Amino acid sequence: MHHFSFKCGALLCAAIPLSFNALSGQTRGPIDQLDDYIVSAGPTARAIKDFASPFSALNSEDIQQQSGSTLGDLLDGQLGVTSTSFGGGASRPIIRGFDGPRVRILDSGIEALDASSTSPDHAVATEPLLVERVEILRGPSTLLYGSSAIGGVVNVIGREIPRTPVTELGTIEGGLELSHDTATDGESALGYAKAGGESWAISVTGLKRENDNYDIPGDAESVSGTLENSFFETDAYSVGGTWFLDQGSYFGLSFASYASRYGVPGHSHQHEDEHGEESVSIYLDRKRYDAELVLIEPLAWIEAARFRLGYTDYEHTELEGDETGTKFENEGWEFRGEIAHGPLGFFDEGVAGVQVSDTDFSAIGEEAFTPAATTRNQAFFVSEHIHGDELHWDFGARVEHQSIDAEGAASSYSGTALSFALNATWKFAEDHSLALSLQRSQRHAISTELYADGPHLATEQYELGDDDLDLETAYGVDVRYSYSGRDWSASVSAFYTYFEDYIFAAETGAEIDELLVYQFTAVDALFWGFEAEVDYLANQSGDTSVRLGLLADYVCATNEDTNEDLPRIPPLRIGGKVRVDHGPWSTGLLLRHNFVQTNTAPNEHETDGFTELQLDLSRSFVMKSGEWTLFAQARNLLDEAIRHHSSFLKEVAPQPGRSLRVGVRFKF
């Protein structure tokens, strides 16, 4: 591979097969191998152990083993990650207790531009089964992607734009999958393919899913054992093309369509006519256009440059039975440009870039709790690195200006956020390292926090914004110890984040239209916790390997002004896992206990603990036509009533009961 294309692989999102033995425990070969590298979550192709902040990723194999019909469902269970769990169709990741606008969902480095950050019943417009790779960033490394991402970044890398030529000219590469899920009596079918020549490639993807209302355990609150209005249907497809230039440079274009309809459990409207209560469902339609230009060594002092432009036309309609209720629209674009350089002054390497976006959001109907608004954002960011024999230094900064003009508002919002970070990684002994990260981040308030004024029935709240809200400022410290030996690997991370003017919706005690009034306000807040994982290669002989693992995570969050707990914070989780590979056979087991959450906010109920038991099994067959794989994935084998404390619907909508997903996969 060309030197520059490798060194700037992170910038270019190059698709190369990597393992993540220290983080995901999916290594198939011997432990004594070259460092594992990440390829798109930072300015350069850096070794995972060089990251001062926790970083984790799911490659295509991990995604297939984990499955998940939504992004939150796919990532729920990763260290430090839970989900909003709003029925079968809407589930957004929560990282270290942070959700909503504090977790940025990206599409290959730029904003996904859906409406999922404004409400937990708004789905993420991403199809996990068509994703090639998902990266989860926490701490200072998130500054590359947005000051608002104080909690973390989920970077989803799809197959829409081909970034590498086909392996053999004149051939077609791709895959097909058919599966059935017992909990939803659901069927899904997907396919993707790439074809091309020496200097070009085209790709197509497609998926169709039909999931009925899902089954829940008998001890959950349901007469029939089925959660009403939890169905989920999806149709998605994309087409893209790329022209490959010299030395790995390329220019690609793509179009993607994502449409889904899903029910919102526990959310119904009462009508005065003979129809009575009408169940509420959401129809979501997103059209996205992307362009990406990558240049390798365009100038003597630039090793690589990447430019990406995305335009999204998003719309979702809340349906009351068959009648249209509230319609949400979000139309916008985002441009991101970045350059990577080699040695410059006393820096060994680094990246600098700009990010510009413009979005128009509107809501029309009885649940239009926030006014139409135009949000414009301009940012400049830089990340520089110094490599020493024992110490590795990272310096990062981001300046971000944002303006919001809301229809009918007495005043508009305009502000500039300044964020910066310092990371140091100390390799104090062979296979051992200690990392320290210091960060000061500022987040702009979003239009909902500033201008909300209306009933938000999905959360059973009447929400009031505050247009006097200013910047939210967070001061964070991350400490991480890592060990990676021949048979053992371990990592322990502790984090402490103190907020000035932390923005959240606080209950006022008043009622409007029989809904409790929640006022967005700013308080001082404290988040702290830890994440830990140990991985042990118990056996490696021939084509057989046995890997064992232990994991745990915890977060505590308090309102420092009142010394009360903040709402919907996940409890302590501990667990163990086993992965056995034997030739074409592969199986994995995860057993994890979620403890009772007793640290509750005012008027918030405790959530019972539960134990998860998951199992996956697959068998591959290599033939001349390609590789066939039969797979089975069992979830909630103990058939427990799983209620996530982070969910607004935990009382009325538990997670699915015991389920089995079986299917066949073909790669060619």
Look at residue 34 in the predicted model and tell me its pLDDT: 35
The CA R_g of the chain, rounded to the nearest whole Å, is 24
Distance CA 654, CA 649 (A): 8
Buried b (16+ CB within 10 A) or exposed e, 371-392: bbbbbebbbebbbbbeeeeeeb
Residues 144 and 396 sit within 8 Å (Cβ to Cβ): yes
- pLDDT tens-digit map of 330-346: 999 999 999 999 898 88
Look at residue 267 in the predicted model and tell me its pLDDT: 64
Does the structure show a pLDDT above 70 at 481?
A: yes
| Number of domain units in the chain | 1
**pLDDT grade, residue 72 (50/70/90)?**
confident
Does the structure show a pLDDT above 90 at 141?
A: no
**pLDDT grade, residue 20 (50/70/90)?**
very low
Percent of the chain predicted with pLDDT > 90:
60
**pLDDT grade, residue 444 (50/70/90)?**
very high
- Mean pLDDT, rounded, for 382-402: 91
Look at residue 122 in the predicted model and tell me its pLDDT: 81
* CATH code at position 438: 2.40.170.20
Domain of residue 299, residue span? 3-667
Between CA 239 and CA 241, with CA 240 as vertex, the angle to 5 degrees is: 140
Distance CA 362, CA 33 (A): 52
414 pairs with which residues across the strands?
Answer: 403
CA-closest candidate to residue 118, choices 131, 99, 133: 99
Does the structure show a pLDDT above 70 at 28?
A: no
Percent of the chain predicted with pLDDT > 70:
89
Does the structure show a pLDDT above 60 at 270?
A: no
Parallel, antiparallel or unpaired: strands 461-464 and 515-541: parallel
Residues 320 and 280 sit within 8 Å (Cβ to Cβ): yes
- Mean pLDDT, rounded, for 85-91: 84
Distance CA 343, CA 606 (A): 54
- Of the two residues 55 and 559, the one the predictor is more confident about is 559
Look at residue 140 in the predicted model and tell me its pLDDT: 64
| Residue at 302: amino acid letter | I
